[in-house]
A and B are shown apart, each in its own frame.
Chain A
């Protein structure tokens, strides 16, 4: 179901990682292109379910970051999509990568887009 939530969709995020944002620009992973999308175009319900199941336990209920898990709510959608795609491919980026690789490995391009916007 496509929903039209007014909130900033970037709150509803899996994954990502805060260290070295420059990493994102170095990536050659084929990440879904999400920068042009808005919350109106994506399935927020689906993203919310994934977020509740896989993301909030570490990154916090508002993706505000917690403990050694980075804040996601201030990241750009394309950065998040890129990072999720890299984790999905099994790339290690930082000490908590194993958690992210496991959580990202079964995400579809659509999931990543939904989560990242």
Chain B
């Protein structure tokens, strides 16, 4: 078919700037008619209607222009309003889900909020914080990007099983990744009230919401269209971005504590950027000192299926390309990479297309998407209802990428 053939030709993608001039758009979620919720990290939640009009819904803190505000919500560094999702039964229950940093608790936390969105898509109500205990980094520390608010994870997705999933991060806190009870560095699987999924199988003593643990800062989560497996894309420290096919109860093997695994003291007790955290050095030497997945300490850790050639370039979000319009890329995963310039690392802003083996357990091939527009900091990738790929860049644009055309 012509569409499939042109989909195979990576130079034939078309780009449409769906929204421009946004302030750090972080995530989107779409309905079948193209209605699109989106978040802006320091501003709030809005919805773009199919006719292109945009309704502001819920503001961060005192941000003006929103019909309602979460006075407890705030942004700081990497933290703020992040992931968003529609309930799979949205048509009936009008429920939506948004993850944001909040100062309601002290120390502050990241919260997953549930709202009811009215029929006109103009107001939200019934805020219910179904997760209120994802840790937040309160104080600056002696690390690269060491300001408050670091590493919150932030992706919110519904799986094919209808469960609600949330990814979290390590806060530059050495205890969180392997902690059984602190809900950072985890992938949570829950119902829409925030209760643990009954089939979650974490080790004894763990919070039962835990699907996997021992992550660093998961910003990408997607589900294989055929196997249904949850797959994360994760931002590495100064090395080793990772894609991991998750195993229920699995340990991703990130443990940045000092005075263990052959390491001595580290700045503020967190070895996550060591050795030589402030300067460039060989990425494989770094990986050997502070592995993203520490198989020596955790031999049963979930193995990554992709490590970005050992680089850390800001791997952020993930989605699967579904539909024959994508040609050879149908059922491949795309990963948005934000780019970073440090210590000789190529910036690497791009969208990678990750082809999996038929059983979905290994990476067969990786292709860089030839983009019909200038690259940017690809924060979010989401498949739209008509099979186009939507992507948000931190610079303030949400694009719609459609295969085919001239």
User: B228 contacts which chain A residues (CB < 8 A)?
Assistant: none
Interface-side segment among A20-28, A31-39, A80-88, A97-105: A97-105
- Answer yes or no: B107 CB below 8 A from chain A CBs: no
A101 to B343, CA, bound (A): 10
- Answer yes or no: A75 CB below 8 A from chain B CBs: no
User: A101 contacts which chain B residues (CB < 8 A)?
Assistant: 278
* Residues B77 and A95 in contact, CB atoms below 8 Å apart: yes
Return the CB mask of A45-76 against B: 1 if under 8 Å, else 0.
Answer: 00000000111111011101011100000000
User: B146 contacts which chain A residues (CB < 8 A)?
Assistant: 95
Interface residues on A, range: 20 to 34
* Residues A58 and B280 in contact, CB atoms below 8 Å apart: no
* Residues A95 and B140 in contact, CB atoms below 8 Å apart: yes
Return the contact of A61 from the options B77, B279, B374 (Cβ within 8 A). B374
- Answer yes or no: B395 CB below 8 A from chain A CBs: yes
* Residues A99 and B24 in contact, CB atoms below 8 Å apart: no
- Shortest CB-to-CB span from B188 to chain A, Å, is 24
* Residues B77 and A66 in contact, CB atoms below 8 Å apart: no
* CB-nearest residue of chain B to A60: B395
User: B144 contacts which chain A residues (CB < 8 A)?
Assistant: 96, 98-99
Q: Quick one: which of A54, A66, A101 has the most chain B CB within 10 A?
A: A66
Given contacts A68-B78, A95-B140, contact A60 B377 (CB under 8 A): yes
A45 to B93, CA, bound (A): 56
Return the contact of B147 from the options A61, A94, A99, A103 (Cβ within 8 A). A94
* Residues A64 and B339 in contact, CB atoms below 8 Å apart: no
Given contacts A53-B347, A61-B376, A98-B278, contact A66 B394 (CB under 8 A): yes
* Residues B395 and A66 in contact, CB atoms below 8 Å apart: yes
* Residues B394 and A60 in contact, CB atoms below 8 Å apart: yes
* Residues A68 and B77 in contact, CB atoms below 8 Å apart: yes
Q: Quick one: which of B342, B379, B395, B396 has the most chain A CB within 10 A?
A: B395
A103 to B344, CA, bound (A): 10
- Shortest CB-to-CB span from A47 to chain B, Å, is 15
A67 to B75, CA, bound (A): 11
Given contacts A57-B340, A67-B377, contact A102 B347 (CB under 8 A): no
Return the CB mask of B51-77 against A: 1 if under 8 Å, else 0.
Answer: 000000000000000000000000001
A–B complex contacts, Cβ < 8 Å, 23 sampled: A54-B341, A55-B341, A56-B347, A57-B340, A58-B339, A58-B377, A61-B376, A62-B395, A64-B395, A66-B24, A66-B377, A66-B393, A66-B395, A67-B78, A67-B338, A68-B77, A94-B147, A95-B77, A95-B140, A98-B144, A98-B277, A102-B278, A103-B341
